[in-house]
Amino acid sequence: MAEGVLVTDADGVVVHANRALRGLLGVGPEVLGRPLTEAIAQEGVQGLVELAEAERESVQEELPVRGRRVLVRVTPIEDPTTGIVAVLSDVTELRRLERIRRDFVANVSHELRTPVAAVRAATETLLSGALDRADTAREFVGIVDRHAERLHRLVEDLLELSRLESGEVRHLPEPVRLRDAVTRALELFSLAVKARGTRLTASVDPAVDCVEATAHALEHILSNLVDNAIKYSPEGATVRVTAAPHGDRVRLSVVDTGPGVEARHLPRLFERFYRADKSRSRDLGGTGLGLAIVKHLAEAIGATVSVESTPGEGTSFHVDLRPSAGPAAEPSRDE
């Protein structure tokens, strides 16, 4: 069993200590037959045993044990024998997950607060007179509009993440023609590219045909990566989308000539709400969730994502996809 179990007899001698217990406390089988006070040096355990014996009821406490969090529950044994049973559970991972959840809720609240405060301030200004003056009315409605848009994006990204994490929608990969997905994704950026004078190019190796994916996942991954590449690069930069065989995979890359990302940020870039450049991301309306979504989508279709970057030269994101032998499903025709 996963829990560590320790039993003593009426004289306080250890009569049972399972493998999990010995592993948790870092002791060997020699603890058997010895008094608990000598056998177990772990701080806190002895005190709990004494308390349980004095109170004649179960007591528990979470203790730091050899770098882990361990919940220790001590129960006195009722007649005919006396002594105690101690059950030790390693709750390190549980506590870690709880902390992640707490941080996530705190992050979401923090992200919501700014746009909500901006909308409230603008509507208050409007209601207290600005509404009657055409020029200021327009300005403040514009502020409401921008921040409502930001709230909308945040909610959409959160929903997408939660759908992906719950596994509620199954992304059953099927053959998808990569060239088509690239073309469709890039179409979305024709306006942004014009506005920023970005050179956006795509080249798909003729040897690449279908990959295991879903059209939704592939286009969403690509549009998030291309959006970042355009957004974080200065005007007139070049963004290249390429696809070519890479070992037994197909590597889809989005390469930009933007500012790059410092090496210390790279390992955390795919975490929810992690931003290398906080103020810049917010100014550009980013939610900080794009790359977390990319990573989840990639995992859902059995692909892996990675990033390389040289500050001052640019950034490359790679998605390594499974090639697919089968033909792409024909688009269904209305009969």
Ligand X SMILES: Nc1ncnc2c1ncn2[C@@H]1O[C@H](COP(=O)(O)OP(=O)(O)O)[C@@H](O)[C@H]1O
Residue ranges binding ligand X (CB under 6 A): 224, 228-229, 232, 256, 258-259, 261, 269, 275-277, 281, 286-291, 315
Residue nearest to Mg ion (CB): 290
Residue 214 makes contact with Mg ion by CB under 5 A: no
Residue 211 and residue 324 in contact, taking contact as beta carbons nearer than 8 Å: yes
Residue 32 and residue 18 in contact, taking contact as beta carbons nearer than 8 Å: no
Residue 233: strand, helix, or coil: coil
Q: How far apart are CA 290 and CA 232, in angstroms?
A: 13
Angle formed at CA 153 by CA 161 and CA 231, multiple of 5 degrees: 100
Q: At its nearest, how many Å lie between ligand X and the CB of residue 316?
A: 9
Residue 290 makes contact with Mg ion by CB under 5 A: yes
Q: Which does 214 bind (CB under 5 to 8 A by kind): Mg ion, ligand X, none?
A: none
Q: Which is nearer to Mg ion, 147 or 272 (CB)?
A: 272
* From candidates 89, 198, 228, 242, binder to Mg ion by CB under 5 A: 228
Q: Which does 237 bind (CB under 5 to 8 A by kind): Mg ion, ligand X, none?
A: none
Q: How far apart are CA 121 and CA 44, in angstroms?
A: 54
Q: At its nearest, how many Å lie between Mg ion and the CB of residue 228?
A: 4
Where are the alpha helices (H) located in 201-289, listed in sequence order?
215-232, 278-283
Q: Give strand pairing partners of 305.
A: 319
Q: How far apart are CA 93 and CA 90, in angstroms?
A: 8
User: Is the peptide bond prior to 80 cis by the omega test (within 30 degrees of 0)?
Assistant: yes
Q: At its nearest, how many Å lie between ligand X and the CB of residue 63?
A: 38
Q: Select the span of 27-35, 221-229, 233-241, 310-318 touching Mg ion (CB under 5 A).
A: 221-229
Q: At its nearest, how many Å lie between Mg ion and the CB of residue 225?
A: 8
The residue ranges that bind Mg ion (CB under 5 A) are 228, 286, 290
